[in-house]
Amino acid sequence: QAKAFGIEGQIVNELIARTAIDNHARKLNLNLPDQAVVAAVQADPAFKGFDGKFSQDQLNALLRQAGYTQESYLAARRNEELREQLTNALIDNITPPEIMVSMRRTFEDETRVVRYFALDPNTAVKLDAPTGNDLKATYDKNKSAFMTPEYRQVEILLLTSDDARKQIPVTEEDLKAAYETDKGQLSVPEQRHVLQLAFKNAADAQKARAEIAAGKPFEEVVKAQGAKPSDVDLGMLTKAKLLDKKVADAAFALAKGQVSDVIEGRFATVLLFVKDIKPGRTPSFEEAKPQLRDRITRSRANEQIRKLNNLVDDNRLAGKSLKEIGELLNITYYAPAAVDAQGKTPDGKPAFTSPDLAKIMRTAFAAEIGVENEVLELSDGGYAWVNLISVTPQKQKPFEAVRDEVRKLWEENARKAALRKLAEELVERIKKGEAFDAVAKSIGAEVKTTPAFKRGDSLPNLPPSAVSRAFALPAGTPATAESADKATRIVFEVSEVKEPEKPTDKELAGTRQQLRQQLQNGVMSEYVSALRQRQGVTINQATIDRTTGATAR
């Protein structure tokens, strides 16, 4: 789905653009010192606290949410700042000409009012009963709509990661050895509920610390600083989750209910309060057994897959069928007697389940009988073998078997044609001088009027084609279009053209900014395109397809 929506291409192009600009920055010997990067972070509005100043708490929360460590974020931020400085030099002074701003406002703000009436599909036209020739002609003209799909009989041998892991022996000694080795990873680390109050400077922090030492509760100090409890509450977290090492060391050295000394953190000066401590624990061997077994089989899965893959190849060379190999090696085997290109049987149900169903069916429907296919790589690291046994070609359904379907299609087409013809006749009557309302009344239709609308507006009873056409027609000129629900047709005319009102300074500024952004985007597109051409870009689509699972090789 992502590929169909073009997301894959967007991501690849974005990665190429970033890399091309980074390369250009390096060629120009551009760099930023650490102090400049830290200053940029501290000036970032995303990291402002309740007082409008930089907040270490806000930074920590957002980095945790995004999955960054402090070091990785600063490295990424350095590259981002360099890219911005380089590209801003190109686009900062771009300004759209005022004539362009004026034309854009006119285009966007002009409104029109439309009067219209809809033809009643049940009464506006009357269809004669179709003759045998009518239905047969419809059938012959639309034969492709009355076909059974192509079905293929295939056999599929799947060597999945699950198949391999089930066959991996895990002894008690293996489990005990893994327990001793992985005990640290299995252990649940100590967690602490930490409150962190940031200050503008060390003097303010020292003053607050003195008040606490004199008996003032930490919560009252928080309130006195103008912060809410939620502003200082970091929650229950492990030491690794505290991004500033100096703060982390201090927080995990405090006793429960204890307030820290003033800490000069990397980004801010803070006081810490440990509200609660949840000790770490190591699960017992028996508790850890299922997790250990899972870890061991996962770590050995690739080797087991390799062994089984070699055994499959050996047995295929020995002349064994895929079914025999599946039974011999205890791996998954499917043999659907009839399956379509979507992997469904004639009753509409999936022939088998697999995350790689689409890939397997592409191979099955590209295969030839008696020709050995390439081995498919599965998304879990396993393999698949596909043999084509027979093909049942698409088959034309007999006319008599689909007579009711043909009749329905004939009626649908005939009604649409009759409604179009009638609508065009009504339009001609209006063009020749008959009043719009009189023509509507002659067929028992009610004339309705839309509110004033702009080019980009969506109206419930006016189809997009009519909205677009309305801005191309002079006032009083009738036209017809298929209705919004596609069940009938409407006849309409533009009854009023409203020139846009004089825009306010704010509206002009908004339009000016939109055009400026579009012009900047155009310049950036040309810049990146030139960098790509100069630096040389190749895209290994095969590797991308393997990564996304689009193809096997």
Query: DSSP states of 215-279 as a string?
Result: T--HHHHHHHTT--HHHHEEEEEEGGG-SSHHHHHHHTTSPTTPBPPPEE-SS-EEEEEEEEEE-
Report pLDDT for 550.
64
Mean pLDDT, the chain, rounded, equals 90
Q: Is the pLDDT of residue 343 over 70?
A: yes
Q: Is the pLDDT of residue 551 over 70?
A: no
Q: Is the pLDDT of residue 268 over 90?
A: no
- In sequence order, what are the beta bridge partners of 238? 191
Residue 367's contacts (CB-CB under 8 Å, 6 or more residues apart) are 154, 373, 386, 387, 388
Single-letter amino acid code for the residue at 271? L
CA distance 339 to 358: 12
pLDDT in tens, 289-342: 988 999 999 999 999 999 999 999 999 999 999 999 999 999 999 999 999 999
CA distance 248 to 447: 73
Q: Is the pLDDT of residue 553 over 70?
A: no
Q: Which of 55-59, 184-188, 333-337, 455-459 has the highest mean pLDDT?
A: 333-337
**What average pLDDT does this structure show over 412-439?**
95
CA distance 328 to 163: 13
pLDDT in tens, 73-83: 888 888 888 88
- Please tell me whether the overall predicted TM-score, pTM, comes out greater than 0.75 for this model: no
- In sequence order, what are the beta bridge partners of 489? 482
Q: Which of 2-16, 128-142, 368-382, 419-433 has the highest mean pLDDT?
A: 419-433
Please, which pLDDT band fits residue 265 given cuts at 50, 70 and 90? Answer: confident
Neighbours of 126 (CB within 10 A): 8
Please, which pLDDT band fits residue 401 given cuts at 50, 70 and 90? Answer: very high
Residue 30's contacts (CB-CB under 8 Å, 6 or more residues apart) are 82, 85, 86
Report pLDDT for 71.
80
Pick 192 or 1 by higher pLDDT: 192
Q: Is the pLDDT of residue 552 over 50?
A: no
Residue 451's contacts (CB-CB under 8 Å, 6 or more residues apart) are 113
**What average pLDDT does this structure show over 149-177?**
94
Please, which pLDDT band fits residue 135 given cuts at 50, 70 and 90? Answer: very high
CB contact burial 328-352 (16+ within 10 A = b; e otherwise): ebebbbbbbebbbeebbeeeeeebb
Pick 244 or 305 by higher pLDDT: 305
CA distance 522 to 9: 19
Report pLDDT for 45.
87
pLDDT in tens, 476-534: 999 999 998 888 999 999 999 988 888 888 888 999 999 999 999 999 999 999 999 99
The dihedral of CA 101, 103, 107, 110: what is its sign?
Answer: positive
User: Whose structure tokens read 């055009």?
Assistant: 515
Residue 461's contacts (CB-CB under 8 Å, 6 or more residues apart) are 116, 118, 448, 450, 483, 484, 490
Pick 481 or 40 by higher pLDDT: 481
CA distances from 202 to 214, 234, 267, 303 (A): 18, 21, 12, 58
Please, which pLDDT band fits residue 267 given cuts at 50, 70 and 90? Answer: confident
Task: Give the tokens for residue 439.
Answer: 């023509």
CA angle 435, 441, 446 (to 5 degrees): 105
